[in-house]
Structures are given as structure tokens and as C-alpha cells.
């Protein structure tokens, strides 16, 4: 199944390289990749489309793995970075920084993941404190509801901040909140890639721990697992993944919700296989959404976050109705 997902990603990558306002045929793409294309074709492919394709794959993988960890830790099928407010917290930190420092400067590009991590971490801590009850522990339903409420509050602050910006920065914030892959050059790839290359393999390394934690706290403790330490470590990993992805992708939701559910249907609940499947499905989903967004209304463009939301919102309502049944 993983090989099939990999093949589908290759197909969508080829389609995405041929999709855009300036169309490149498959033969022109091959010639350009081999170094025989025209300067214009090289500019389109290497400076615009390929960085965006790579970022879409990395961001989709990061969001899906983060969502899988959050769903496993909370034992709640509705948990993901967006619904828990983590993405909103990371985004607020990014927007606040960009309001004062141009996002195009080299130093700011590599600072964005760190700032997003700080915003996401503070938001996650706030939600955890508000959702935790000493008598009941951490209620999965309360966790999601508080996350949605906190995200709504942060989004309101973002809107207030946006209204105070100059027209250029306001346009950027509006695009960011819609979920457009805005970090579209190789510098953003370099800023995001280390986070994905470190945290996704680390998550897979911790797959057995996630399997044990899914059995419940009492059983996990009986099996010798340091429950609280591992839970906090995995939660920090999920928050860091979401924050790093938000820093270059904007407010994209539902990838962390849909990816893990599709992966469980395809490969089952064992995290040794589930997490790699989540990474592949998340990358495939976001790249497909970004490609469709560039193709549907040419020469205009629909942000990838909007395309994903069209798919994800009905699925979220289905899961919500199913959880109440």
C-alpha cells in the first residue's frame, strides 16, 4: 500500500509540474529537467513550481503525522492541529512577526518555524490547562471544544491585527488565513526540511510507544511505560510539526484530520505503518489540493486551504455526528 501511495504522489507531481498559467507539456518538463529547456521554462519549473511542490509534500506530511499523534494521545478522532487551535496559535505568532519584519528577508524565513513553534506551544499549553480536570483527567470532547473556542478567539485577534496593517501586509495576511502555500521558493524549503526530516522519523521511532499509550494509562503503566513523560514528548513533537508547517503554509486545516483516518482505513491502527502512511497521504492530499487550486479557475488561483476545506468540512461533520451517535 505504501508503494501505491508513493506511485500516486509521483503521478500528481508530474501533473502539478504541467499545471499553471504557463503550461508546460510533459515533453517540455522532461527536457527542462534534463537541462535542455529554455530559460523561461527553467524559471517556471525550478524557481516556481518545484519549490511549491516540495513544500506541499512536506507540509502535508507534517500536518498528517501531527494529527495522527494528537488523535492517538487524546483518543479523539476529531483531534488535529487546526481543531485544537494549535495552528491558529502558530499562525498568530507568524503574523505578529511579519507585521514588523518583512517575511522575505533571509533571517526571518529561518526564524518563522521557531516563532510558530513558540505560538503553537503556548496555545497547546493553554488548551491543556483549560481542558484538564483533576477529577476526570483530560476529556477528549472537552479538549476539542476548548480547542475550537481558543482558535476562534485567536482568529479574532488575527483579524483585529490585520485591520491595522498597511494594504500590502493586509493582503498577505488575508492570503495566509485562506491557506495558500505562500512560501514558494527554495529558502522556505530549506527552513522547513530539517524539521520534517527530524520530527517525522522520530515520530515513527516512537510508534511502539503510541501503540502502548492507546491501551490506556493504567495498562501502559503496567507495561512499564513512563506515560506522562512519553505523552509530553510526543505532544511536543506534534506541536513542533504543526508549527513548522504553519510557518510556510498558512492556515491550512483538515489535512491532519483526514490523513490519519484514510491511513487507518488503508493500513490499520499499528503506528509503525500508520505514521508513514499518514505522511504519504498528507503530502498527496495537499499537493492534489494545491494543483486543483491552480487549475480550476486559471489564471486565478484558489488557495489550497480552501480546496482542502471543501473536502474536509463535510468529513468533520460526519465524524462529529458519528462520535455523538
pLDDT tens by residue, 269-298: 899 999 999 999 999 999 999 898 888 877
- 275-312: b (≥16 Cβ within 10 Å) or e: bbbbbbbbbbbbbbbbbbbbeeeeeebbbbbebbbebb
- pLDDT number for residue 73: 84
- CA–CA separation, 242 vs 23, rounded Å? 33
How do residues 102-161 score in pLDDT, each as one tens digit? 655 555 677 878 888 888 889 988 888 887 776 666 666 777 788 888 888 888 888 787
* pLDDT the model gives residue 224: 63
Can you say whether residue 124 is alpha, beta or left, with left for phi > 0 and alpha for psi between -120 and 50 degrees?
Answer: alpha
pLDDT of residue 324: 55
Say what the pLDDT of residue 61 is.
95
Rounded to whole angstroms, the Cα distance separating 291 from 255 reads 15
Degrees (nearest 5) of the Cα angle 312, 318, 321? 140
Straight-line distance from the first to the last Cα atom of the chain, in angstroms, rounded to the nearest whole number: 31
CB 83 within 8 A of CB 220: no
Cell (9 digits) for 322: 458519528
**Considering just the CA atoms, what is the radius of gyration of the chain in Å?**
20
pLDDT at 252: 84
Report the distance separating Cα 75 and Cα 68, nearest Å: 10
Residue from 54, 88, 89, 83 nearest 67 by CA: 83
What is the per-residue pLDDT for 8? 93
Provide the grid cell at 125. Answer: 499549553
pLDDT value, residue 263 = 92
**Are the C-beta atoms of residues 51 and 115 closer than 8 Å to each other?**
no
The per-residue pLDDT for 221 is: 65
- Show the low-confidence residues of the chain (pLDDT under 70): 101-108, 134-140, 168, 182-184, 216-225, 320, 323-325
Closest CA to 190 of 305, 54, 65: 54
Amino acid at each position: 500500500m505504501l508503494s501505491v501511495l508513493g506511485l500516486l504522489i509521483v503521478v500528481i507531481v508530474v501533473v502539478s509540474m504541467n499545471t499553471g498559467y504557463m503550461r508546460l507539456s510533459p515533453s517540455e518538463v522532461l527536457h527542462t529537467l534534463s537541462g535542455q529547456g529554455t530559460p523561461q521554462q527553467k524559471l517556471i519549473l525550478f524557481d516556481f513550481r518545484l519549490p511549491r511542490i516540495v513544500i506541499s509534500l512536506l507540509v502535508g506530511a507534517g500536518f498528517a503525522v501531527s494529527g495522527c499523534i494528537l488523535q492517538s494521545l487524546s483518543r479523539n478522532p476529531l483531534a488535529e492541529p487546526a481543531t485544537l487551535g494549535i495552528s491558529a496559535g502558530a499562525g498568530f505568532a507568524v503574523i505578529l512577526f511579519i507585521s514588523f519584519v518583512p517575511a522575505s528577508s533571509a533571517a526571518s524565513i529561518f526564524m518563522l518555524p521557531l516563532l510558530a513553534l513558540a505560538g503553537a506551544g503556548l496555545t497547546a499549553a493553554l488548551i491543556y490547562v483549560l481542558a484538564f480536570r483533576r477529577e476526570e483527567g483530560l476529556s477528549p470532547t472537552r479538549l476539542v471544544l476548548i480547542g475550537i473556542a481558543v482558535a476562534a478567539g485567536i482568529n479574532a485577534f488575527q483579524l483585529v491585527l490585520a485591520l491595522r496593517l498597511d494594504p500590502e501586509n493586509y493582503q498577505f495576511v488575508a492570503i495566509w488565513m485562506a491557506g495558500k502555500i505562500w512560501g514558494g521558493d527554495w529558502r522556505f524549503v530549506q527552513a522547513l526540511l530539517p524539521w520534517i526530516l527530524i520530527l517525522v522519523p522520530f515520530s515513527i521511532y516512537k510508534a511502539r510507544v503510541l501503540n502502548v499509550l492507546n491501551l490506556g494509562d493504567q495498562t501502559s503503566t503496567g507495561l512499564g511505560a513512563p506515560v506522562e513523560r512519553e505523552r509530553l514528548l510526543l505532544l511536543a513533537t506534534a506541536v513542533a510539526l504543526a508549527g513548522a508547517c504553519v510557518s510556510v503554509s498558512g492556515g491550512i486545516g483538515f489535512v491532519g484530520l483526514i490523513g490519519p483516518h484514510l491511513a487507518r482505513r488503508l493500513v490499520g491502527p499499528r503506528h509503525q505503518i500508520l505514521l508513514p502512511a499518514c505522511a504519504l497521504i498528507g503530502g498527496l492530499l495537499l499537493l492534489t489540493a494545491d494543483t486543483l487550486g491552480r487549475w480550476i479557475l486559471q489564471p486565478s488561483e484558489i488557495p489550497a486551504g480552501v480546496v482542502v476545506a471543501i473536502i474536509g468540512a463535510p468529513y468533520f461533520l460526519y465524524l462529529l455526528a458519528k462520535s455523538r451517535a
